[in-house]
Structure 1
Amino acid sequence: MNKRTILASLDACSPLALAAALLASHAAAAAQAAAPTARPAAMSAPQAATPQTRAALVAQLEARRIERGLDARHGFAVIAQHPGMQGMQVARVAHTFKGVRVFGSESVLVLDDSGRIRSESASERRLGLTAGAGQAFAPGTPPAHDFSVAPALTSQAAIEAALKALGASPSPDAGTRHVTPPSAELVIFPVMRSERLQSALGKPEQELNALDVRDVVDRYELAWLVRIRMHLDGKPVYRDTVVSARDAAILDSWDMLQSVIGIGKSQYNGEVPINTTLVDGKYKMLDDSRGAGGTFGGMAITNADHGTSAGAVYVNDTNTWGDGKQYSAGGLTTDANGQTAAVNAMWGLMNTYDALKNVFGWLSLDGHNTATYIAAHVNTAYDNAYYSDTCRCMFIGDGSSFNSLGSIDVIGHEMGHGVTASTSNLTYSGESGGLNESSSDINGEVIEAYARAGGKGDAIPASGNDWVLGKEISKDGTPLRWMMKPSKDGSSPDAWSSTLKRLDVHYSSGPNNRMFFFLSQGSSSDKAGDTWSKYLVKTPLAMTGIGLDKAFRIWFKANTTKFTSSTNYADARAKMIESAEELYGKGSREAIAVQRAYAAINVGTDVDE
């Protein structure tokens, strides 16, 4: 017997596995000048990629190779395909040289229903490999035209170097458990530097705008990209490390634990409906109406029971769950009090799924309707929640300094990492990492608004969210992040600066969060207010917002169909303008609002409305 039921229950950021995807080894969507009540078309139904379709796509790209100044050593590898808008599909293609992926160099292709390329958004970080002259390389490396892809270091040696850098032994001990075995992918790693444009050479550093500088390749290094997903002394350690394939030097490293740093608690929603499944007389916290396949055959909530593994799906004798109260430390995770965390998680999961499906036609995290799950009660008194790229699932703790980590904005945030991992896959470091975190913050606020309004409809409500993260779950009521003025947390900047890329991604997300607030809600001309920007100097001084629904549509389109893994703030602005123009028309008030919202955070110059 397998009967799905609905009940009233008390409730008080991957990278893609490129190595597996390199199977082949080797004009924009029509703009809509929408009426005020019209909405852009939803995502198209996902289509399965086959070796034949991938090969046909690569052939189209290879036919354009000569006009781009690329020789036969430059190749392409399709790494992902997912739904697009208005009946189109999106393919993500890695750039390769001598069969090796050039890290951060890729193309995002919008395809029509026959697989023909309609538009391309690319990050070009490979051209110096062919040009040679004037290109700097690591000491001891040959000229560009002879760039070797033969490593002097084995993949195992690279993994050992990365583990050593983390303070972990290559041989797992009692305090170490690998979630997945460490892996190493051979890549050509462009070491980047920023340079000023000619027009900005005389500007003081503090006056630079994001469009005054550009990222260029300083040199190329053959390297191993080592991915480590482990628990060290009971705590998750997810790290990507770039190890030189010449001498094992650590070239770069970034945290891949895509978390919210201790945000949680969801004992404020009253009675909420959740979907469960009746199996052999027992109720399981499994929703098989949302998502398919996956680990459990549907969207599920599991009980980690203070461990580091997901555990089994929650089971109950009755179809009434939870007591709506904060989990009592030391208590059972299976009684009514322990079930509340699971109820919180399921409500957040359902609302996130429904919002993306009803507004965009986007199914689950990957657009292909693959079911995911959330593990509750992770570790003991754990002050965090995070998305795992190994299972494409989420983990939430019970909190210690914070309350139970399962609030609606946190669930929306973590599931937002899943969408980004399946699409733009923004590298979780520097400016792209800040945009990755901001995308999840945006998703969290949007899902909060959708859920508070009842979780129905094909548009995002104009209000319902609070524009802060963590307020309702903080024990003293102080939010962790303010989207309208990020600097209120004491660490996040309100605007872009040349130092932004050196910040933790949870802080470098601040300017983009503020941009999104301005785009949606507008700004103020009151210099004493939280929503004033000194960079808005055109008419009117207080820019006009376009509403949460339109702002999110533009962001979602840019993130899923235009951003590449190396997109920075300047590139995000350009792609957001393109998305607004394609959705609402060139010169539209929505496209102008995007320009003003980015100008408000020192990315581009202001324009009149």
Structure 2
Amino acid sequence: MNRKNALAAGVAAALALGSVTVVVTQSTAASRPTAAADTSAARPGAGFQAMTADARGEAIRTAGRNAAATARALGLGPDERLVAKDVLIDADGTRHVRYDRTYRGLPVIGGDLVVHLAEDGTITGSDLAHQGAIRIPGTTPKLTAADASAKAVKHAKHVKHAKAGSKDSTLVVYAVGKIPALAYRSTVTGEGETGPASREAVIVDATSGVPLDQYELHQSITGTGNGVTVGQVSIETTQTGSGYTLTDAAHGGTIVYDSYNSPQSNPKQNARPFSKTTNSWGNGTNSSRESAAVDASYGLAKTWDYYKNSFNRSGIRNDGRGAPAYVHVDTSLLNAFYDDNCFCMYFGDGSSQNSNTPLATLDVAGHEMSHGVTAATANLTYSGESGGLNEATSDIFGTMVEFYANNAGDPGDYYIGEKLNMPAGYMRRMDNPAADGKSLSCWTSSAGSADVHYSSGIGNHFFYLAAEGTGAKTIGGRSHTGTTCNNDTFAGIGKEKAAAVWYRALSTYMTSTTNYAGARTATLQAAADLYGTNSQERYLVSKAWAAVSVGTALPDPGTGTPTPSPTTPPSGNALTNGSFEQGTSGWTQSDSIITNSALQAARDGSWYAWMMGYGADAVESLSQSNIAVPSTGTPKLTFWLKVTTQESGSAAYDTLKVKVNGTALATYSNANASSGYVQKTVDLSAYKGQTVKLEFAGTEDTYLSTVFLVDGIAIG
């Protein structure tokens, strides 16, 4: 959690409500000790207990009763409320409670968070989409809802001929950026990827009308197909009197409807369940409307079974309920998609471009149902890097469902939509995303500006490398090549372990605003939970991220623990433990500054210094004495600094000073905010050959927080 909440910990420590004792610490769950913390033994699946619907409901109700105390412990403001969304329980009794946030009754976009609790109810850490309390000047907008809708129509970029009325705009607090703002979330409709009734969310500032974000609401997989692919399979049906329906009671009562070409905006308009007097369905061709329904029913059942048997997850929302599915939606619809608004899945019939082949293949069903799982867990915003992660998650689990089903007609591989008769033979390739000429195989600073279906390539590529490693392979009868962005070579951990890591990261640590750097942090934490902090699995996960240009690889645990530098190091390396990988060794700190908290990312390795971020009057210091400055050349202090702030403008409200023997040689402030670590250099020529004290001194004012992260300090 944000360290500004550390001040509230002392008050919250003694507070107990029901089964939850609120004791807030700086560390996230990353530092929670467990018996298996340093072993390579895997927990079953992603480590979660199976829960009945009643048990899950009671756990959520308990979390709701404790919401107010939790909000106070986290340092949230008096106008904020937490709404319990889900609870996951580890095999050792650890709980992970996911909350949404409101501000004066308004929903907060980007306000979601996860609170981690030990078995005794002690809060051990938290992951917040927006750090700290929400502060906005007021909740009275200058724009009306009609004004906002007009602005949204003007700014919509995912649909053409956009339309929206005043009833389509809702007042919210938008907290995805650095500074929360009062905003409108508008739903516009128009012609887009998902057909003539495509929908897009457009968020505009409620004062100025400036667009803040926009993204598709139908999270889709689009392409052409080549007919029924699952062949002759067994499906679950329900007998009703003298007949049967495609109602799958074994999988939450999932019902497959014939939409009878109802518009995608209202798939129920002409819909009715498939029913007949015999229990034989379809003929494998489009001459029977049942054939597409067989594909959908089989694919959704296999997806349900995969999540249940792999992660103890019971359905999309983990509540045992099946989502309705509609085949033969609209006319000439070359698409399939999940819609959380109706908790349903749509499958189009294709068009003349693909010989009118329905889009209900196995990996498509797994992909779409997994969009629902993402919506029920991290709820990754469908734009920017989080949108790419959203799409990657569906590709990852759609692929895992294909492997799980073990269908002879559609063997598992890392090609997406390979049964859809695409010109290239697939829609996307996880082993080499850039092969399609559009997708990203490697992270770049512009990844957040790419279409989410293309930026998903970064996550897809990571997963393939984590699962299979590098080198050429034939998988499912198809050629795969484990290329990397850094020319590294390494082995994979296996697809089941890689999927367990991703699922645990998604459901336990990711939030709506998680980006690729955050996904790396989340998966490293998940790997530590499942296989141990010093496991080969965690190390290889870091290698896979480095191979797609996200962060650097951790030290190989097989090489042993690095030996700390001596107190008086040789010339050119005049500092002890400048990377903090030996924890606090060599340093004096005024608070728990040196950390391996998973909430932030180190520049290298796992440890770093986290200074300030209280959002209140505070001072901190981190120092080391008896440092021998080299007596030759031009000695310099170098270090990496990342600054994030809630402040705005160029005025320096919160500062970090670099001092040598008490003299400030450099000052950095909220005005130096950066998206990542930036290397800084301070000339030490005036101290050549001397023994000095180096100090980093932080100061924060009473309003709004600034976080200074420091790593990789060296003198030479």
For normalisation by structure 2, the TM-score amounts to 0.65
1:261 and 2:247 correspond: no
SS at match of 1:248: coil
Tell me the equivalent position of 2:290.
339
CA contact (8 A) 1:222 1:246 kept: yes
1:279 and 2:240 correspond: yes
1:245 and 2:245 correspond: no
Paired residue type of 2:456 = S
1:388 and 2:353 correspond: no
* Matching residue within 39, 42, 47 for 2:56: 47
1:81 and 2:32 correspond: no
CA contact (8 A) 1:519 1:597 kept: yes
What is the CA–CA distance in structure 1 between the aligned matches of 2:203 and 2:35, rounded to whole Å? 41
What is the CA–CA distance in structure 1 between the aligned matches of 2:480 and 2:221, rounded to whole Å? 27
* Matching residue within 201, 222, 237 for 2:182: 222
SS at match of 2:235: strand
Tell me the equivalent position of 1:451.
405
Tell me the equivalent position of 1:604.
551
RMSD after superposition: 3.0
1:523 and 2:532 correspond: no
CA contact (8 A) 1:104 1:125 kept: no
SS at match of 1:92: strand
CA contact (8 A) 1:58 1:78 kept: no
CA contact (8 A) 1:264 1:410 kept: no
1:379 and 2:330 correspond: yes
What is the CA–CA distance in structure 1 between the aligned matches of 2:43 and 2:153, rounded to whole Å? 55
Deviation at 1:542, TM superposition (A): 1.5
Pick which of 303-312 and 470-479 moved more.
Answer: 470-479
Tell me the equivalent position of 2:141.
151
CA contact (8 A) 2:223 2:420 kept: no
C-alpha distance after superposition, 1:15-73 (max 9, x if no partner):
xxxxxxxxxxxx548464354797654434152156664131330330342xxxx6545
1:236 and 2:232 correspond: no
CA contact (8 A) 2:491 2:540 kept: yes
* Matching residue within 353, 369, 372 for 2:304: 353
C-alpha distance after superposition, 1:491-542 (max 9, x if no partner):
011100011001110001001100000000001399x993221425xxxx42
Tell me the equivalent position of 2:371.
417
What is the CA–CA distance in structure 1 between the aligned matches of 2:317 and 2:87, rounded to whole Å? 7
Tell me the equivalent position of 1:199.
none
SS at match of 1:414: helix
Paired residue type of 1:155 = A
C-alpha distance after superposition, 1:97-125 (max 9, x if no partner):
55545431332123456765343122334
C-alpha distance after superposition, 1:350-401 (max 9, x if no partner):
1011111111110000111122121101112211101111112110111123
SS at match of 2:234: strand
CA contact (8 A) 2:114 2:127 kept: yes
Tell me the equivalent position of 1:6.
none
CA contact (8 A) 2:46 2:501 kept: no
CA contact (8 A) 2:237 2:244 kept: yes
SS at match of 2:109: strand
Shift in CA distance, 160/92, structure 1 to aligned 2, threshold 3 Å: farther
Shift in CA distance, 29/279, structure 1 to aligned 2, threshold 3 Å: farther
Deviation at 1:256, TM superposition (A): 1.5
How do 1:45-444 and structure 2 match up within 5 A? Answer: 45=51, 46-48=55-57, 53-65=63-75, 72-73=78-79, 75-86=80-91, 87-97=93-103, 100-111=106-117, 116-126=122-132, 147-163=137-153, 165=155, 167-170=161-164, 182-190=168-176, 192=177, 217=178, 219-228=179-188, 235-262=196-223, 264=225, 267-291=228-252, 298-308=253-263, 309-310=267-268, 311-325=271-285, 327=286, 337-400=288-351, 401-402=353-354, 403-444=357-398
Paired residue type of 1:110 = H
CA contact (8 A) 1:240 1:256 kept: yes
Tell me the equivalent position of 2:672.
none
Deviation at 1:470, TM superposition (A): 1.4
CA contact (8 A) 2:220 2:338 kept: yes
List runs of 5+ in structure 1 lacking aligned partners: 1-26, 131-143, 173-180, 193-216, 292-297, 329-336, 456-462
Greater RCO between the two (CA within 8 Å, min separation 6)? 1
CA contact (8 A) 1:376 1:395 kept: yes
Deviation at 1:244, TM superposition (A): 1.9
Paired residue type of 1:350 = A
Shift in CA distance, 437/71, structure 1 to aligned 2, threshold 3 Å: closer
Shift in CA distance, 283/110, structure 1 to aligned 2, threshold 3 Å: same
What is the CA–CA distance in structure 1 between the aligned matches of 2:256 and 2:480, rounded to whole Å? 42
Shift in CA distance, 427/263, structure 1 to aligned 2, threshold 3 Å: farther
What is the CA–CA distance in structure 1 between the aligned matches of 2:363 and 2:422, rounded to whole Å? 16
C-alpha distance after superposition, 1:294-338 (max 9, x if no partner):
xxxx1111111112214121112211111112x25xxxxxxxx21
What is the CA–CA distance in structure 1 between the aligned matches of 2:195 and 2:42, rounded to whole Å? 53
Shift in CA distance, 560/266, structure 1 to aligned 2, threshold 3 Å: farther
- Percent identity (aligned): 32
SS at match of 1:268: coil
Pick which of 513-522 and 118-127 moved more.
Answer: 118-127
Paired residue type of 2:86 = Q
Shift in CA distance, 604/407, structure 1 to aligned 2, threshold 3 Å: same
What is the CA–CA distance in structure 1 between the aligned matches of 2:371 and 2:485, rounded to whole Å? 32
Paired residue type of 2:202 = T
CA contact (8 A) 2:151 2:204 kept: yes
Shift in CA distance, 56/184, structure 1 to aligned 2, threshold 3 Å: same
Pick which of 425-434 and 541-550 moved more.
Answer: 541-550
CA contact (8 A) 1:450 1:464 kept: no
Deviation at 1:593, TM superposition (A): 1.0
Tell me the equivalent position of 2:413.
466
SS at match of 2:538: helix
What is the CA–CA distance in structure 2 between the aligned matches of 1:302 and 1:557, rounded to whole Å? 33
Shift in CA distance, 307/513, structure 1 to aligned 2, threshold 3 Å: same
C-alpha distance after superposition, 1:538-573 (max 9, x if no partner):
xxx421101111010000000011100000000000
What is the CA–CA distance in structure 1 between the aligned matches of 2:395 and 2:328, rounded to whole Å? 23
Shift in CA distance, 92/171, structure 1 to aligned 2, threshold 3 Å: closer
CA contact (8 A) 1:344 1:406 kept: yes
CA contact (8 A) 1:228 1:240 kept: yes
What is the CA–CA distance in structure 2 between the aligned matches of 1:301 and 1:114, rounded to whole Å? 44
Paired residue type of 2:97 = A
Pick which of 37-46 and 500-509 moved more.
Answer: 37-46
Tell me the equivalent position of 1:138.
none
Tell me the equivalent position of 1:4.
none
For normalisation by structure 1, the TM-score amounts to 0.76
C-alpha distance after superposition, 1:440-487 (max 9, x if no partner):
0001100000011699xxxxxxx9411011112215561110100100
What is the CA–CA distance in structure 1 between the aligned matches of 2:220 and 2:33, rounded to whole Å? 34
What is the CA–CA distance in structure 1 between the aligned matches of 2:195 and 2:278, rounded to whole Å? 33
What is the CA–CA distance in structure 1 between the aligned matches of 2:225 and 2:127, rounded to whole Å? 36
What is the CA–CA distance in structure 1 between the aligned matches of 2:480 and 2:430, rounded to whole Å? 14
Tell me the equivalent position of 2:435.
488
Deviation at 1:241, TM superposition (A): 1.1
SS at match of 1:420: helix
Shift in CA distance, 265/282, structure 1 to aligned 2, threshold 3 Å: farther
Q: What is the aligned residue count? A: 501
SS at match of 2:57: coil
List runs of 5+ in structure 2 lacking aligned partners: 1-28, 474-478, 557-716
Tell me the equivalent position of 1:543.
490
SS at match of 2:199: strand
